[in-house]
Amino acid sequence: MSDLREEVRERYAAAARSVNEGMAANDWDADPSCWAPEDGCGVKLYDVTQRGELPEEAVLASLGCGNPTAVAELREGEVVLDLGSGGGIDVLLSARRVGPTGKVYGLDMTDEMLELARENARKSGATNVEFLKGYIEDVPLPDASVDVIISNCVINLSTDKPRVISEMHRVLRAEGRLGISDVVAADSLSIADRAERGSYVGCIAGALSFSEYADLLDRAGFVDISIESTHELADEMYGAIVRARKI
Q: How far apart are CA 3 and CA 101, in angstroms?
A: 41
Instruction: Give the pTM.
Output: 0.90
Q: Which CATH number describes the domain made up of 2-246?
A: 3.40.50.150
Give the confidence band of 65 by pLDDT, cuts at 50, 70, 90: confident
Give the confidence band of 2 by pLDDT, cuts at 50, 70, 90: low
- In the chain, domain spans: 2-246
Strand 222-234 relative to strand 237-246: parallel, antiparallel, unpaired? antiparallel
Q: How far apart are CA 229 and CA 220, in angstroms?
A: 22
What is the per-residue pLDDT for 204? Answer: 94
Query: Residue 132's beta-bridge partner residues?
Result: 107
Q: How many Å separate Cα 115 from the centre of its chain?
A: 17
What is the per-residue pLDDT for 33? Answer: 44
What is the per-residue pLDDT for 4? Answer: 86
pLDDT in tens, 70-96: 888 999 999 999 999 999 999 999 999
